[in-house]
Structure 1
Amino acid sequence: MTRVEQWEKQTEWPLAGAAVLFLAGYAVPIVWPDASPTALGVASAVVAITWVVFGLDYLARLLLSDDRRAFVRSHLFDLAMLVLPMLRPLRLLRLFTLLQVLNRTTAGGLRGRVVTYAVGATALLVVCGGLAITEAERGAEGSTIDGVGDGTWWAIVTMTTVGYGDTFPVTFTGRCVAVALMGTGIALLGVVTATLASWLTDRVSEIDDDAHDETQAQVAELTAEVRALREQIARLLPVDADDGAGPSAVPAVALARPSAREQRPDH
């Protein structure tokens, strides 16, 4: 395990907590735009502090990396989230760290973990997408999304690939959020379809196994009955080679008996 991997393993829970705090601070001015200045100030401070935490995490991983240029090239998305203000809503994707940690601690098989991850990811993307689109579209000219309710409805419609068209983004940031939700919606739909197909395949396999076991049991039962019948026949028709009794002696007795013509006296 490299030093970067060790760092990521040690900081995944703190970063997940920071992501939850960022979500809370990010949501306050969107859900309650008329909140008191104190509440808005606290929310803004929480967002700023978590931004610093994410920046320190990126810097620590960069310093621990053996090849820093390769690290920067492979983590351009993280760098863009830190540097570009327009991508600030994408910091909510840090919540997937919490989802991954919870998924690893979930008991059950692989299919159960996949279902847990898919359900959690869908709920998380709907919430984050609704907040992000509301922030981007509220107050924009020609926008049909003016509140969290509209944004959440739009996120659900987009995630399920329904696309009623009653609400749609008009800003550049809103359309970027829309593209991201469309892609993840298609991916999650594929995960659900694959999981359902796997479940149906396993059910058919279980039915085939049960039928095979039942057939094997019937064959074994018939074999036992045939064996019992053979034993009964052997007891009813014993063969004794010494005294000539038995089925093999019957033809000899028949040959030794004189015919009716031979028994008739001569006149």
Structure 2
Amino acid sequence: MDDDSRLTRWDRRTDLALGIASLVFLGSYAVHVLAPGMPKAAHAFFLSLMYTAWAMFGVDYAVRWRLSGEGPGFVRRHWLDTVVLVLPLLRPVRVVRTYESIQRRHGEPRLPLHARVAAYSALSISLLGFSGALAVYQVERSAPNASIRTFGDSLWWTCSTLSTVGYGDYVPVTTLGRFIAAGLMACGLALLGTVTGSFSSWMLQRFSLGEDERRPPEN
């Protein structure tokens, strides 16, 4: 039994559970950030959900490392998984991959490729933007001279950052906030580039089909 098949079976069995755990982590973190005045028992409950989900991510990473048979090379080859383990707020974005794998188990996806790219990119941007807004709000709201004081400010700033518009009315002033901003800028450029490239490819295909239909048949 080769390592690739074992790793594939593990991924297939754990995709749904880890996808749910990702959403539980994000929801618990959102409550933790947005409701700081909650009772201590509720606060401890949501923190325990967060750490339990994070522990599941760690176990999954360790098992996949073991099943891959790559040794230390697993970290280099799967560097994105390592980043997601260290920064678990990025984990909910992998729900998109979970949904895709579930669709494929039930046959071919209903949407065409270009529509899937646009839909999955929109979902990824939404999850990434919400996670980034929570993180920036948490580190900026109590910082001296901060302009991001409410979660609404953070959401507006996140939208302008991901869209690469950058109005400049709200800016992070902490080192960690600026680090998060740099990551959001890079992700925004990548995701928007993906959508733009997919749309351009679809337009070219449509124009090409139109030209073929108008071209007279050859003798």
Change (3 A) 1:209 1:57: same
Q: Is residue 8 from structure 1 mapped to residue 5 from structure 2 by the alignment?
A: no
Shift of 1:129: 1.0
- Residue of structure 1 equivalent to 2:201: 198
Shift of 1:171: 1.6
57-66 vs 16-25, which moves further: 57-66
Q: How does 1:34-183 map to 2 (within 5 A)?
A: 34-75=37-78, 78-79=81-82, 82=85, 90-104=87-101, 105=103, 106-183=109-186
The higher radius of gyration belongs to 1
- Residue of structure 2 equivalent to 1:237: none
Shift of 1:149: 0.9
Q: Deviations over 1:158-185 (max 9, x none)?
A: 0000001111112222112111110111
Amino acid across the alignment from 2:14: T
4-13 vs 38-47, which moves further: 4-13
| Structure 2: distance between partners of 1:184 and 1:79 | 17
100-109 vs 22-31, which moves further: 100-109
The gaps in structure 1 that reach 5 residues or longer are: 221-267
Amino acid across the alignment from 2:93: F
Tell me the SS of whatever aligns to 1:40: helix
TM-score by length of 1: 0.71
Q: Deviations over 1:9-59 (max 9, x none)?
A: 221111111101100111002122222323222111111111211121122
- Aligned CA RMSD, in angstroms, stands at 2.2
177-186 vs 56-65, which moves further: 56-65
Change (3 A) 1:198 1:76: closer
Question: How many residues are matched?
Answer: 210
Does the Cα contact within 8 Å between 2:121 and 2:195 map onto a contact in 1?
Answer: yes
Q: Which 4+ stretches in 1 moved above 3 angstroms? A: 72-82
Amino acid across the alignment from 2:98: V
Shift of 1:78: 4.5
Q: Determine which structure has greater relative contact order: mean sequence separation of CA pairs < 8 Å that are 6+ residues apart, divided by chain length.
A: 2
- Residue of structure 2 equivalent to 1:18: 21
